[in-house]
Amino acid sequence: MLNTKYIGILLIATLGGGAVYLIVAGEVGLPLVPVATDSSITDTKLTSTQVQEFPAAMGSEFLSASGLQLDKQGSREIEKSAGRDLVTLLARFWRDCVAKDNCDQDLLEQKRYLSQERYVLLEHFLQNEQAREELLGLELVSQDISLEQKIAKVKYIDRQVWGDDAELVFKDEYAQYQFTLKSQQLSEQEDASGFIDAYEQLLREQHDDLASMALESDLAKYGHGLTLIPDSYSAYDRESVTRALGDKFLTQIQQTSILHRQEQVAHQVMEVQSYRQGLDALNRELMSSRQTDRAHFSPAQWERYLAQRQYEYRLNFFAKN
């Protein structure tokens, strides 16, 4: 059984990386795990299984060192959970037992209530997470490969470390990978007329996983659809697809609000362009004046004159707009 007397654990949820990173330090014969920060990993947009933060009070109520709540409720949750929820429970168990310096006893208590498969999963959670991160670092850092190839490598490593449990532990993660790949394929679709049908098909195929990806609401589906419109589309096709997404996923009030906001932004852009063009014209006029009718000005006089003319321009511009 793992000796955790001198273990210090820092759980780090990486941004867009492959998983939860564990740094385990102490006298347990385990090397430090390097935390990968290379952009070649984060740019893949692979979502990691996030370990949530829990208040200390909540942890002590749920995972008391000797209370029955730990044994029965905690075990039931571990038995029935999968994916992100399961990883959160396993990580929380180790966080709390290390804080209490009571992991051996807590593991024995859990063994009484967990199935053999789930107990082994709990017992080897830290070692497996560490092994996974080490292998991910070796395989993925500085490799210029496609998103599909990276996903295949991650799954291969998961299988090496977790065996058949990989599908259980990374259920949410794999669903996100699949959705990301299919979204990428959709963003490469050349036929604008079929975009909406293809997007709806994607949402239907991933219906059971939309909650884990924060895509349950129609507004979220609309927003995600906008991000998938190919850059290769003409302005007309982009506007047509955007309007079709709005008709499909937004209420009339929402569409009106978005349209109003777009008009405001467009007006602001035009206003900024007009201001800059007018200021550039004024500066050209002033530079010409400096060489002719204002050539006799001293540097101090010229600076005052320049500042005054620019001030008057700004005053007049904003008074009219």
What is the arithmetic mean of pLDDT over 47-58? Answer: 37
pTM of the model as a whole: 0.57
What pLDDT shows up at residue 57? 36
Closest CA to 246 of 235, 262, 233, 230: 262
pLDDT of residue 56: 38
The neighbour count for residue 259, using CB atoms within 10 Å, is: 12
- Is the pLDDT reported for residue 145 higher than 70? yes
> What single-letter DSSP state applies at residue 233?
S
Q: For residue range 171-227, what is the model confidence (pLDDT) as tens digits? A: 999 999 999 888 888 888 778 888 999 999 999 998 988 988 889 999 999 999 999
Instruction: Note the pLDDT of residue 71.
Output: 52
> Which of the pair, 32 or 178, is modelled with greater confidence?
178
- Helix extents (H) in the chain: 39-42, 56-62, 68, 75-80, 83-100, 103-113, 116-123, 125-140, 147-162, 166-169, 171-186, 195-205, 218-228, 235-249, 252-291, 299-320
Model confidence band, residue 9 (pLDDT cutoffs 50, 70, 90):
very low
Q: How confident is the model at residue 142 (pLDDT cuts 50, 70, 90)?
A: low
Residue 311 to residues 280, 282, 315, Cα–Cα distance (Å)? 14, 11, 6
162 contacts 133 by C-beta, under 8 angstroms: no
Q: What is the pLDDT of residue 141?
A: 62
Say yes or no to pLDDT of 287 above 80.
yes
Report which residue type is found at 85. D
End-to-end CA distance of the chain, in Å? Answer: 74
pLDDT of residue 298: 93
Rounded to whole angstroms, how far apart are CA atoms 150 and 304? 62
The pLDDT of residue 184 is 86
pLDDT beyond 50 at 163: yes
| H or E element, residue 11 | strand 8-13
